[in-house]
Structure 1
Amino acid sequence: MRFEVQKSPMAPFHIRQYQERDRKRVLDLFSQGMEEHIPATFYHALMLPRTLLLLLGAPLALVLMSGSWFLAILCTFCLLLSLWLLARYPWRNYVDTCLRADMADITKSYLSGRGSCFWVAESGEQVAGIVGALPVKDPPLGRKQLQLFRLSVSLQHRGLGIAKALVRTVLQFARDQGYSEVVLYTGRIQRGAVAVYQNMGFQETGTSFLNIVSKFLDVSVVHFRLLWHGTYATILTGSSSADEKCIFSCSLDSNLFDVKWKDWGREVLQFI
């Protein structure tokens, strides 16, 4: 499987394998990419009916019982602060867990075997994006699954097609290594990532919660899967710009496919 991505000369980038000199920037990018979802999580939790009921009911009850508006305002402040800390907890906890697990030694975790890898997207000698891939340890019977991990793109480099290019790199690697499907998990609140995966043909297979705090905040994890099998597949670029055109040919199930570029930004893999 091979592909070539043609980009605007205004925003060049290339994807290469991770090197140890990238470590600090990779960890910073990953941590910042996760923690930037804290405000969205806070707002999402704030808009939940049970939260609004608590924010209105508790101060009102204090006013009725004590007649003090100061206590009501203090109660509201404490409730909002508690909600912010709760919204921050799942992301901080997730980052800490990852930094103690696979991200503690990226070379050992991702580059010690043939079935896994970790890539960085480099733009202007800066690490602009990251993604990793590991084999699923206990896949369903008869399936060979590769799991996509740690996809993140820096704020200043978004909108350049880097995320899509990183995902395509994982898909190429999966095909080259003989995997039958690619799976991944991402937070529902990560709307940008969810849109990228859906637009590239991934299908939602389920949802779950990381912990009881995530369940209380209604911040679910979405399970995605992309199968190689089938007679066709569709990839949505999510852009109507012709600056990024993809020439993408591959062999899936012993049939040759070709990506046809469409003016409205849709790429369709069709038989040729």
Structure 2
Amino acid sequence: MAPYQIRQYKERDHKAVVDMFSSGMMEHAPATFRYMLLLPKTLLLLSAVPLTTVLTSGSWLLAVVSVFFLLLLLRLLARQPFKEYVALCLQTDMADITKSYVNRHGACFWVAESGGQVVGTVGGLPVDDPPLGRKQLQLFHLSVSSQHRGQGIAKALVRTVLQFARDQGYTDVVLETSIIQQSAITLYEAMGFQRTGKYSEVSIIKWLITFSVIHFTYPFPCAQKHEP
């Protein structure tokens, strides 16, 4: 196992961080495609299209071809929510990471480095409108390169955020992740994060892609103890 270190983000890391973030998000497209195939709406569509094709053309071959192209279209559409999210982030907080995170009070961005290369990322931003009596830090952009997974880097990055939040006097660390990202959900629950909410995320392809987004909270014991 190659050694790694976690350090604060520097300007020279920008391209590597953006590339890792973009490729990491697109890795979720295959899982989204498989998720879509199990949705009742998709199953209905996959049944209706070939049936309609046979009734209108009388050709089973054309029906099979129509299903093939429909599956191809669904596979392309499964990428859409992640492409939109990447594009949004590259126009907002990821456009200037130093300004958005490093130079902002109560925020920071870290990278994991191994062999002189960035192999992991994570950021934290203060929540603008937290619940009354709480001071919350939101975890963003946890990512580890596919070649360096299974080495505990993701856990180390999350621990770095938790320690930073404690040092800065935050009462909670919060985050959101989709039901598609099962490995992330497993990681957060194993580290003590609690599910505190869920809502449906609807993409631009509104009829087809709807999945749950889970809200997690990691409350610090001392903060819980002193709540009124």
Is TM more than 0.5 here? yes
Query: 1:223 matched to which residue of 2?
Result: 215
Give distance in 1, aligned partners of 2:50 and 2:36: 18
Three-state SS of the structure 1 residue aligned to 2:35 is: helix
Deviates more, 1:62-71 or 1:21-30: 62-71
Instruction: Quote the offset at 1:253 in angstroms.
Output: 5.8
1:177 pairs, out of 160, 168, 182, with: 168
Give the structure-1-normalised TM-score: 0.78
Query: 1:97 matched to which residue of 2?
Result: 88
Give distance in 2, aligned partners of 1:229 and 1:214: 41
Query: 2:134 matched to which residue of 1?
Result: 143
Three-state SS of the structure 2 residue aligned to 1:141 is: coil
Q: Where do 5+ consecutive residues of structure 2 fail to align?
A: none
Which residue identity lines up with residue 72 of structure 1 in the other structure? A
Instruction: Quote the offset at 1:69 in angstroms.
Output: 2.1
Which structure dedicates a bigger proportion of its chain to helix?
2
Map 1:78-227 to 2 at 5 A: 78-212=69-203, 213=205, 216-227=208-219
Query: 1:28 matched to which residue of 2?
Result: 19
Three-state SS of the structure 1 residue aligned to 2:131 is: coil
Query: 1:240 matched to which residue of 2?
Result: none
Which residue identity lines up with residue 117 of structure 1 in the other structure? C
Which residue identity lines up with residue 51 of structure 1 in the other structure? T
Give distance in 1, aligned partners of 2:208 and 2:173: 30
Give distance in 2, aligned partners of 1:151 and 1:216: 27
Instruction: Quote the offset at 1:140 in angstroms.
Output: 0.9
Which residue identity lines up with residue 195 of structure 1 in the other structure? T
Q: Indicate if the aligned counterparts of 2:41 and 2:208 stay in contact, CA closer than 8 A.
A: no
- Cα 1:74–1:91 change in 2 (3 A) is same
Which residue identity lines up with residue 113 of structure 2 in the other structure? E
Query: 1:238 matched to which residue of 2?
Result: none
- Cα 1:184–1:215 change in 2 (3 A) is farther
Deviates more, 1:208-217 or 1:132-141: 208-217
Q: Indicate if the aligned counterparts of 1:62 and 1:72 stay in contact, CA closer than 8 A.
A: yes
Equivalent residue pairs, number: 225
Three-state SS of the structure 1 residue aligned to 2:211 is: coil
Q: CA RMSD in A?
A: 1.9
Give distance in 1, aligned partners of 2:206 and 2:36: 10
Q: Where do 5+ consecutive residues of structure 1 fail to align?
A: 1-9, 232-251, 255-272
1:68 pairs, out of 59, 78, 88, with: 59
Q: Indicate if the aligned counterparts of 2:94 and 2:100 stay in contact, CA closer than 8 A.
A: yes
Give distance in 1, aligned partners of 2:184 and 2:17: 18
Give the structure-2-normalised TM-score: 0.92
Q: Indicate if the aligned counterparts of 1:129 and 1:163 stay in contact, CA closer than 8 A.
A: yes
Q: Indicate if the aligned counterparts of 1:90 and 1:214 stay in contact, CA closer than 8 A.
A: no
Give distance in 2, aligned partners of 1:224 and 1:33: 20
Three-state SS of the structure 2 residue aligned to 1:104 is: coil
Query: 1:236 matched to which residue of 2?
Result: none
Q: Indicate if the aligned counterparts of 1:209 and 1:215 stay in contact, CA closer than 8 A.
A: no
Instruction: Quote the offset at 1:119 in angstroms.
Output: 0.1
Runs (4+) of structure 1 exceeding 6 A deviation are: none
